[in-house]
Amino acid sequence: MKDEMKKVPRLRFRGFSEDWELCKLGTLAEIVRGASPRPIQDSKWFDNTSDVGWLRISDVTEQNGRIYKLEQKLSKAGQEKTRVLRKPHLLLSIAATVGKPVVNYVNTGVHDGFLIFLNPLFDREFMFQWLEMFTPKWQKYGQPGSQLNLNSELVRNQELRMPSTNEQEKIGMLFKYLDDTITLHQRKLEQLKELKKAYLQVMFPAKDERVPKVRFAAFEGEWAHRKLGEITESFSGGTPTAGKSEYYGGDIPFIRSGEISSDSTELFITENGLNSSSAKMVKVGDILYALYGATSGEVGISKITGAINQAILAIRPSKNDNSYLIIQWLRKQKNTIISTYLQGGQGNLSSSIVKNLIIMLPQNKEEQEKVGIFFKRLDDIITLHQNKLEQLKDLKTSYLQNMFI
């Protein structure tokens, strides 16, 4: 059955069985456009002491549509040139990030890139989620190759099916709980990443120093400078000739630079493809360093046995140094490496560049092990939260697809 013919969603709460009613957005609220003072660059429109914030598209993106703070503040003169909301309202972006629903939880001046739903006859949270589900569908009003802009008339005339108020409220509460849970996990993930960044700064020696600021007890003495190529063995791979079917579709995972930390690959090659090319096999635990393209300077540890292409350098410690410690140093130095060897972030790294990098390591292998294990555990916790966050986002997407029409 086509979506437009559906009268009930695939999934709903118990106790609800009636059809959802077909209506237009314009019958459910008074939909008006925001307003902007002009010229917007004039400083007289702004005042940092004001209690009314100025909503920008960047705020919507950063806060994912739920506005709890606004950095820029409107002066009295600025407020007179816009629409000021002093209570939470549902908004819809109609320019730039088109079709993104927004709720303001602070005093907000709304510029003309947003529509405001006044005097709504719907549950606000339900409609926020419906609009989020519908966001990509606004593209049907755009012309190929041109920027999409919505207007109030298009939005007012958009048809949708609405359940009873009680069912709206239940659906809205469920999705608000999901959104709050996602936000909590996102914040926790960001905190863990910041914590790791801080530890990287203090548990490795600073520039021109030989000892770190923070160190495990019972270890002393200076860390040593080592050329990476002198303490490791390394090699890069190659790519079987494209278009030869006998080289692809085999059992050997073919690892590309965007997959160095993944436990799966998009492509597989055959033994024939491996033997007929410069592709090289790596094993679980090998350090994988991205040399080319957008991922240049990224580093991971192989989670699978597979073949690598020419965009990856495989690195294996040859003097019993800790792999995870080497990885953390390479991650810490990524920006320095990129800025030193790539002009404007463009170009490629090479195996000779990587081999000649000077790395700082504890001379005591036990200290190496402790630092390596510490960061590995921290990375494992970060990965756990990333996976949980992705699961929650996938769950929400599934509910959006099945609990709305």
Average pLDDT in the 288-308 region?
Answer: 94
Q: Which of 60, 51, 69, 58 is nearest to 90 (CA)?
A: 60
User: 1 pLDDT band (50/70/90 cuts)?
Assistant: very low
Instruction: Give the pLDDT mean for 177-198.
Output: 96
Mean pLDDT calculated for residue range 55-62: 89
Element (H, E) at 388: helix 365-403
The yes/no answer on whether domain 224-361 falls in CATH 3.40.50.10800 is: no
> b/e per residue, 322-335, with b = 16+ CB within 10 A?
bbbbbbbbbbbbee
Is the pLDDT at 4 greater than 60, yes or no? Answer: no
Give the containing element (helix H, strand E) for 225.
Answer: strand 224-227
Terminal Cα distance for the chain, rounded: 12
**1-17+165-220+364-405: CATH superfamily:** Bipartite methylase S protein (1.10.287.1120)
**Core vs surface per residue 356-390: b (16+ CB within 10 A) or e:** ebebbbbeeeebbebbbebbbebbeebeebeeebe
What's the rounded mean pLDDT across residues 272-297?
Answer: 94
Q: What is the pLDDT of residues 96-126, one digit of tens each?
A: 788 999 999 999 999 999 999 999 999 999 9
2 pLDDT above the threshold of 50: no
User: Which sign, positive or negative, has the C-alpha torsion 369, 372, 375, 380?
Assistant: negative
Sequence-distant (≥ 6) Cβ neighbours of residue 204 within 8 angstroms: 212, 328, 329, 332, 360
The yes-or-no verdict on residue 149 having pLDDT over 80 is no
Confidence tier at 139 by pLDDT (50, 70, 90)? confident
Question: Tens of pLDDT along 326-384?
Answer: 999 999 999 999 989 886 656 789 999 999 999 999 999 999 999 999 999 999 999 99
Mean pLDDT, residues 69-77: 96
Cα–Cα distance measured from residue 338 to residue 360, given in angstroms and rounded to the nearest whole number: 18
DSSP-derived secondary structure for 88-140: --EEEE-SSSTT-EEEE-S-EEE-TTEEEEES-SS-HHHHHHHHHHHGGGGGG
Which tens digit of pLDDT belongs to each residue from 203-255? 999 988 999 999 999 999 999 999 999 999 999 999 999 989 999 999 999 99
Cα angle at 158 between 152 and 159, to 5 degrees? 155
Give the largest CA-CA distance in the chain.
75
Question: Is it true that 21-162 and 224-361 share their CATH fold?
Answer: yes
Domain 21-162: give its CATH architecture. Alpha-Beta Complex (3.90)
Q: Provide mean pLDDT across the span 129-146.
A: 81
Beta-carbon-side half-sphere exposure of residue 54 (alpha carbons within 13 Å): 25
Tokens of 114: 């947003």
Query: How far apart, in whole angstroms, are the C-alpha atoms of residue 166 and residue 280?
Result: 61
The two tokens of residue 400 are 């959006």
Q: In sequence order, which ranges of 249-311 are alpha helices (DSSP H)?
A: 271-275
Kindly indicate the confidence band of residue 3, based on its pLDDT and cuts at 50, 70 and 90.
very low
Q: pTM score, two decimals? A: 0.83
What ranges do the domains of the chain cover? Answer: 1-17+165-220+364-405, 21-162, 224-361
